[in-house]
Amino acid sequence: MTTKELNAAASGTFTLGGDIHINRLGFGAMRITGEGIWGEPKNPEQAKKVLRRAVELGVNFIDTADAYGPEVSERLIAEALYPYPKYLIIATKGGLTRSGPNAWAPVGRPEYLRQCVELSLRHLKVERIDLWQLHRIDPKVPVEESLGVIKELQQQGKIRHVGLSEVNADEIKQASKVLPIVSVQNLYNLGDRQHEKTLQYCEQQKLGFIPWFPVAAGKLARSGGPLDAAAKRHSATVAQLSLAWLLHHSPVMLPIPGTSSVDHLEENIASVNVQLSADEWKAIEEDGKGKA
């Protein structure tokens, strides 16, 4: 397979909120920051090269967050890709604070979320965020209060659509009473399907489901394991098979694998060309149950 054959468009398309048309395989921009998702990357130019290459390969949906760095990921996206092509959709998130590497804490106070949105607009160099997602629901703040200010900003034209992260169906329903929800971003992969019911709800409501940590790990992906064996039969990697399964598993699935390497990026995009029979997918799914 040559790189000329790589194109994220082969993953199929999905429509977010009725008016945003994206290729289903996107790019997650968390890994272009420093270790622990903290500070600058070791090689900023390489990070920007990855972003540009992703767009060249047909990626038109990039997911980031103000907490990645913090602010580093959003800034690098603007440095690499601004002025943005009209077809490129950049989603970001707000509502998690950072105190150091791998440290995250939710803050859902309205005044803080307003600041999150205003700073993301500045860092991304946009007048409107196409998809803004509440990074976590703050247990100390009613979601109605958190999303109330987001609704105001949406009415002001600063946000196009709104999504949630790490939520269940009841929380989506509760949030939807405040404003329309178009997407959900939850932990999900072949070996960790704890959010299967939430995925099913998203399918019923035609909400985009964005799985973070999309590549299966643990026992399922071990050398000689079922996923590894299937990957070798199809001259693919475990990561490619993991992403191909996500695309196969649900029409609302929008995987956003991230990387700081161009080679790894191209490997991920090549997952769109992995083809297995229905019986093979079924066997892998059965092996994957409870084997994260």
Nearest alpha carbon to residue 118 among 69, 87, 152, 89: 152
The count of domains in the chain is 1
Taking the mean position of all CA atoms in its chain, how far away is CA 180?
19
Residues 26, 53, 263: CA angle, nearest 5 degrees? 90
Q: Is residue 266 part of a domain?
A: no
Whichever domain contains 100, its CATH number is 3.20.20.100
Q: Is residue 68 part of a domain?
A: yes
In this prediction, residue 217 carries a pLDDT of 64
Q: Is residue 198 part of a domain?
A: yes
Q: Is residue 289 part of a domain?
A: no
Phi, psi of 177 (to 5 degrees): -75, -20
In this prediction, residue 289 carries a pLDDT of 66
Nearest alpha carbon to residue 239 among 216, 222, 218: 216
Q: Is residue 244 part of a domain?
A: no
> 125 CB contacts (<8 Å, ≥6 apart)?
78, 82
Which pLDDT tens digit goes with each residue over 13-50?
Answer: 999 999 999 999 999 999 999 999 999 999 999 999 99
Q: Is residue 231 part of a domain?
A: no
In this prediction, residue 200 carries a pLDDT of 98
Counted residue by residue, the chain has a size of 292
Strand 13-16 versus strand 89-94 pairing type: unpaired
Q: Is 84 a catalytic residue?
A: no
Token pair, residue 241, equals 């098979």
pTM score of the predicted model: 0.95
Rounded-to-integer distance, Cα 286 and Cα 291, Å: 10
Low-confidence ranges of the chain (pLDDT < 50): 1-4, 292
Place of tokens 């059965």: 286
Strand 61-63 versus strand 89-94 pairing type: parallel
Q: Is residue 23 part of a domain?
A: yes
> Which of 68, 84, 112, 201 is labelled catalytic?
68
Which pLDDT tens digit goes with each residue over 87-96?
Answer: 999 999 999 9
Rounded-to-integer distance, Cα 101 and Cα 206, Å: 35
The domain in which residue 38 lies consists of 12-215+253-258
Q: Is residue 242 part of a domain?
A: no
Element (H, E) at 282: helix 278-288
